[in-house]
Structure 1
Amino acid sequence: AVKTGDVLAFLNHLLKHVTGELVVVLDNAAIHRAKAVSAFVEAQDRLSLVYLPPYSPEFNPIEKVWAYVKRNVLGNFCARTTKELRTRLRAGWQRIRYIQLPQRLMAATSI
Structure 2
Amino acid sequence: MAALICTKSGHRPRLIYRTHLDRGPAKGRRKGFTETDYVRLLDAAHQQLGGPIVLVWDNLNTHVSRTMRQLIDARLWLTVYQLPPCAPEFNPVEGVWSHLKRSLANLTKRSLDQLTALVKTRLKQMQYRPGLTDGLIAKTGLDFQPPCPQPLKISSTVIRSRSSV
Q: Same fold (TM over 0.5)?
A: yes
Change (3 A) 1:76 1:99: farther
2:68 matched residue in structure 1: 37
* Secondary structure of the corresponding residue to residue 63 of structure 2: helix
The two structures have a TM-score, normalised by structure 1, of: 0.59
The residue correspondences of 1:36-75 to structure 2 (distance < 5 A) are: 36-40=67-71, 48-71=79-102, 73-75=103-105
* Secondary structure of the corresponding residue to residue 49 of structure 1: strand
Runs (5+) with no aligned partner, structure 2? 1-31, 140-165
| Count of aligned pairs between the two proteins | 99
Give, in whole Å, the separation in 2 of the partners of 1:57 and 1:45: 27
Q: Which has the larger radius of gyration?
A: 2
Cα RMSD over matched residues?
A: 3.5
Q: How far off is 1:88 after superposition?
A: 2.4
Runs (5+) with no aligned partner, structure 1? 107-111
The two structures have a TM-score, normalised by structure 2, of: 0.44
Change (3 A) 1:67 1:3: same
The residue correspondences of 1:85-104 to structure 2 (distance < 5 A) are: 85-96=115-126, 97-98=128-129, 100-101=131-132, 102=135
1:82 matched residue in structure 2: 112
